[in-house]
Amino acid sequence: MLSRVFTGSLYGLESELITVETDLSAGLPALTLVGLPDLTVKESKERIRSAIINSNYKFPAKRITINLAPASTKKEGTHFDLPIAIGILASIKIIDSMTIKDFAFIGELSLDGKVNHINGALPLVIGIRNKGIKKIVLPISNAKEVSIIDDVEIYPISKIDEIVDYFLNKTIIKPYKNSGYNIITTLRKDKADFSDVSGQETVKRALQIGVAASHNILMIGPPGAGKTMVARRIPSIMPPMTYEEKLEVTKLYSIAGELSERSPMILDRPFRAPHHTISAVAMVGGGSKPRPGEVSLAHYGVLFLDEFPEFNRKVIEMLRQPMEDEKITINRISSSLTFPSKIMVVAAMNPCPCGYYGDSNHECTCKPYQIHNYLSKISGPLLDRMDIQIEIMPVNYDSLIGNNKIKPRNSEEMRKEIERARTVQLERYKKEDINYNSQLNPNLIKKYCILNKESKDLMKEAFYKFSLSARAYNKIIKLSRTIADIDGINQIEAKHIAEAIQYRSLDKIVRGI
């Protein structure tokens, strides 16, 4: 007796509808899995056998062949347990094949028949739904996460016999409806706001410029200057994500197993701050069960690299591809897969090993060669991609207690100017293949960054004074374009160039020692 059961399979963020075909034939009792299952799926055999027997069903003493169709693509993950078990039960007519034909199943089984939580439920359900299957049976712990998809019927179960009893009309399972979702979207978390940051107005201005055109930023300053505090607030000045963006980020967190019952959907732009001891796999993704890395978990948000020179060089080098292509390709033995990675990189570092070079309140105890060695760790191609380098110093006493006359700018004011500057750029580049000034190549710079006489003279002076490379020269002009956009001015003026030249703090330190 042949049975067919629907499920899904995951490739990066995409998923495909899979049919589990189960066939029983005479012969020595055996269970054979075909259709390119990988090791994680092959291991399921013993779990499925025990789960069926321990749920008090008969396990067929026959030759069982299971095909995962289409057979051309590799199948990974433990979520095939449940559909395979259902297929076996249908093939021995414990369940009527006709009653399950409109359903799909995903879930991992325990030996005692419990149905366990799986990673990646959200993209799996979306993929299955897109193929027209709207009734999905899955682990109860995944119900909330997938309930943000509104046109599917979710049948949450905790044990395999619950769904068998349902198909035998012995019990009722009410499709899961998430009544809490609307509450979650309105009750947003208490947010960190730039109004909490006093006396760092120049730093805030630089971050605003960075966010306005997705320029990557390097912050240099002594311990206690508040680098982490300001970095954490960057998502608060980014425009809110659209529903589609939220869904895409949530899918990534679903695959990574980072969604919780309390936050089944990622609503705010991510802020990821991996420790400098992070491994390459954790940073870019991969592993035996492919998981998105930090570069993808920061998708549409900020990847913050504190203690930047301490990161493993190899790990840092691996950031080049996502920073350039806005996605990361993970090569594996038999296949490769891609996760998105549209990120703004914000790195932070001390100016020297002791941390106090250039600080007027502390003496730096480092020798020049020690500072050189330290700074040389970060030179190279990645540094080239840091358009903005800023110094950040601890705030003085007056600013700290709010004694200064200037009220700190809050995130909303800053975000409004950013949104305006972004709109200007999107309009300007609508016929080009780019969205923001940070993506301008040398040809496009010539086209869109016309300098007046005064700006040209200033650039020429800077070119000789700082012996700028062509790359550095272009970087300053791109940044001036963004500064003019933030100020709402079409013509790049000398003051914009002058400000852009300021954002080269690391070069300044290197020149100073």
Site for Zn ion, residues 289 to 348, rule: CB under 5 A: none
The nearest distance, CB 354 to Zn ion, in angstroms, is 3
Q: Which residue lies nearer to Zn ion by CB, 350 or 411?
A: 350
| Candidates 28-36, 320-328, 356-364, 465-473; binding stretch for Zn ion (CB under 5 A) | 356-364
Rounded CA gap, 152 and 373, in Å?
Answer: 58
Piece in contact with Zn ion (CB under 5 A), picked from 65-73, 132-140, 351-359, 467-475:
351-359
Stretches 190-198, 213-221, 229-237, 365-373: which one binds Zn ion (CB under 5 A)?
Answer: 365-373
- Both structure tokens of 218: 């390097």
Count the site residues for Zn ion by CB under 5 A: 5
Q: β-strands 291-292, 285-286: how paired?
A: antiparallel
Among 352, 378, 393, 500, binds Zn ion (CB under 5 A): 352
Q: Is 354 in the site for Zn ion (CB under 5 A)?
A: yes
Structure-block tokens of residue 121: 């439920």
Q: What angle do CA 147, 150, 151 make, to 5 degrees?
A: 120
- The whole-angstrom separation of Cα 203 and Cα 199 is 9
- To Zn ion, the closest distance from the beta carbon of 378 in angstroms equals 16
CB closer to Zn ion out of 330 and 354 = 354
* Structural tokens at position 265: 């959907």
> Could you tell me the smallest distance in angstroms from the CB atom of residue 358 to Zn ion?
9
Rounded to a whole number of angstroms, the minimum distance from the CB of residue 482 to Zn ion is: 32
Stretch that binds Zn ion, among 63-71, 352-360, 437-445, 478-486 (CB under 5 A): 352-360
Select 194 or 357, whichever has its Cβ closest to Zn ion: 357
Distance CA 315, CA 293 (A): 12
* Secondary structure of residue 157 in the 3-state scheme: strand
Smaller CB distance to Zn ion: residue 372 or 471?
372
Report in angstroms how near the CB of residue 375 gets to Zn ion at its nearest.
Answer: 11
- Rounded least distance, CB 374 to Zn ion, Å: 9
The Cβ of residue 11 has, within 10 Å, a number of other Cβ atoms equal to 18
Nearer to Zn ion, 244 or 363 (CB): 363
Select the residue interacting with Zn ion from 337, 366, 421, 462 (CB under 5 A).
366
Selected range binding Zn ion among 60-68, 164-172, 272-280, 350-358, rule: CB under 5 A = 350-358
Beta carbon nearer to Zn ion, 59 or 357: 357
| Separation in Å, CA 3 to CA 19, 64, 153 | 10, 11, 23
**Is 357 an interacting residue with respect to Zn ion (CB under 5 A)?**
yes
Q: Which residue has the tokens 């570092």?
A: 349
12, two tokens: 């990066």
Please state, in angstroms and rounded to a whole number, the distance separating the CA atoms of residues 14 and 24. Answer: 32
- Minimum CB–partner distance for residue 359 and Zn ion (Å): 9
Q: Which of residues 372 and 416 has its CB atom nearest to Zn ion in the complex?
A: 372
Q: Alpha helix locations (H) across 70-142?
A: 81-91, 121-130
The residue among 495 and 508 lying less far from Zn ion, judged by its C-beta, is 508
Which of these ranges, 6-14, 49-57, 337-345, 359-367, lies near Zn ion under the rule CB under 5 A?
359-367
Q: Which amino acid is at 510?
A: V
Instruction: Tell me the sheet residues that pair with 135.
Output: 103, 153
Alpha-carbon distance values, 147 to 61, 151, 329 (Å):
39, 9, 29
- Tell me if 364 contacts Zn ion by CB under 5 A: yes
Of 68 and 219, which has the nearer Cβ to Zn ion? 219
The stretch among 28-36, 93-101, 363-371, 502-510 that binds Zn ion (CB under 5 A) is 363-371
Helix axes 81-91, 160-167, angle to 10 degrees: 40
The β-bridge relationship of strands 388-391 and 271-272 is unpaired
Q: Which residue lies nearer to Zn ion by CB, 372 or 446? A: 372
Mind giving me the DSSP string for 434-495? -SSGGG--HHHHHHH--B-HHHHHHHHHHHHHTT--HHHHHHHHHHHHHHHHHTT-SSB-HH
Which residues are near Zn ion by CB under 5 A?
352, 354, 357, 364, 366
